[in-house]
């Protein structure tokens, strides 16, 4: 009857939470005590509720009892299926408090909020770089390890990011999805549009550390620095061959 009346006679002694059943209050108390009496038989994971342990077991068995009615996707948790359904319905119930952006998942919204706050929780263990998402740290670490797990299907090129493979594929197909808003130029990668726009705006965000010269691309700064260092990394093979022949 309490589900109809809304009566919740059982109150937590440590917070203001109230419950209709004493059993639910006992479960809640474990959030305060940290008690996790239910242990997974296949690993060391422990849980405060037996139903949470049963759901966890599916990570071992691979069981996915919840199937999407609109596609073949299946899930181990009903909550994950409900979230997935939004990819079909387009529902985005979570709105950013700082802008008009909307999201289908609350965790995605939380990550987006960091673009406003500047918060970067995840730091690289090998340098000072920090990131909004854990996944970005993993990708960044490949710049240290040299790992390139993604390979082009049409050539031997390899990449650290799957998005880079997709952009590279356009060099084979000739596809240029991204167009300049100010002229007819089009590009295979969104990044190149940003660089190109600087030819219209005159923006030069990269400055030489040794003089006042400024550039629209970071690569141009590196090339310019050689005028200061005297570095000449590129050697003419034909000239070297002729020099050897002459000296002999």
Q: Is residue 134 part of a domain?
A: no
Q: Which of 86, 50, 82 is nearest to 66 (CA)?
A: 82
Q: Is residue 224 part of a domain?
A: no
Q: Is residue 218 part of a domain?
A: no
Residues 43 and 76 in one domain: no
Predicted confidence at residue 159, as pLDDT, reads 93
* Most distant CA atoms of the chain, gap in Å: 105
Are the C-beta atoms of residues 113 and 97 closer than 8 Å to each other?
A: yes
Predicted confidence at residue 235, as pLDDT, reads 74
Distance CA 149, CA 68 (A): 31
Are the C-beta atoms of residues 18 and 2 closer than 8 Å to each other?
A: no
Domains: count for the chain: 3
Boundary of a domain, candidates 30, 55, 80: 55
- CA 167-168-169 angle, to 5 degrees, is 90
Q: Is residue 140 part of a domain?
A: no
Model confidence over 187-211: pLDDT tens digits? 988 888 999 999 999 999 999 999 9
Predicted confidence at residue 248, as pLDDT, reads 47
Distance CA 25, CA 3 (A): 15
Residues 6+ apart with CB under 8 A from 143: 160
Kindly report the CATH number assigned to the domain that includes residue 27.
3.30.160.60
Boundary of a domain, candidates 18, 34, 55: 55
Are the C-beta atoms of residues 13 and 25 closer than 8 Å to each other?
A: no
Residues 70 and 113 in one domain: yes
Predicted confidence at residue 48, as pLDDT, reads 86
Block means of pLDDT (10 residues each) for the chain, 248 residues, are 76 87 84 88 90 90 92 91 93 93 92 91 92 91 94 94 90 91 90 92 93 92 91 70 49
Distance CA 111, CA 132 (A): 7
Predicted confidence at residue 243, as pLDDT, reads 47
Boundary of a domain, candidates 171, 186, 201: 201
Category of 166 on φ-ψ map: left (φ > 0), alpha (ψ -120 to 50) or beta = alpha
What is the residue range of 33's domain?
Answer: 2-55
Q: Is residue 138 part of a domain?
A: no
Are the C-beta atoms of residues 43 and 53 closer than 8 Å to each other?
A: no
Residues 115 and 68 in one domain: yes
Q: Is residue 139 part of a domain?
A: no
Residues 47 and 69 in one domain: no
Are the C-beta atoms of residues 75 and 64 closer than 8 Å to each other?
A: yes
Q: Is residue 50 part of a domain?
A: yes
State which H helix or E strand residue 55 sits in: helix 50-61
Q: Is residue 159 part of a domain?
A: yes
């Amino acid at each position: 009857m309490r589900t109809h009346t809304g009566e919740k006679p059982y109150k937590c002694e440590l917070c203001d939470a109230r419950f209709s059943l004493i059993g639910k209050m006992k479960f809640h108390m474990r959030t305060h005590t940290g008690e996790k009496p239910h242990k997974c038989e296949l690993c060391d994971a422990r849980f405060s509720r037996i139903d949470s342990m049963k759901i966890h077991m599916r990570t071992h068995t691979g069981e996915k009892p919840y199937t999407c009615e609109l596609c073949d996707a299946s899930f181990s948790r009903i909550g994950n299926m409900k979230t997935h359904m939004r990819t079909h319905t387009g529902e985005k119930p979570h709105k950013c408090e700082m802008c008009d952006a909307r999201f289908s998942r609350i965790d995605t919204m939380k990550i987006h909020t960091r673009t406003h706050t500047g918060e970067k929780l995840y730091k690289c263990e090998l340098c000072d770089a920090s990131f909004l998402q854990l996944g970005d740290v993993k990708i960044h670490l490949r710049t240290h390890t040299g790992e390139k797990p993604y390979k082009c299907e049409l050539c031997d090129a390899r990449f650290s990011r799957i998005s880079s493979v997709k952009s590279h594929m356009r060099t084979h197909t000739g596809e240029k999805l991204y167009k300049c808003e100010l002229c007819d130029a089009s590009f295979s990668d969104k990044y190149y549009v940003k660089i190109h726009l600087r030819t219209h705006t005159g923006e030069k965000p990269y400055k030489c550390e040794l003089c006042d010269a400024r550039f629209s691309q970071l690569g141009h700064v590196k090339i310019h620095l050689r005028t200061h260092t005297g570095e000449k990394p590129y050697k003419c093979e034909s000239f070297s061959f002729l020099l050897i022949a002459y000296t002999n």
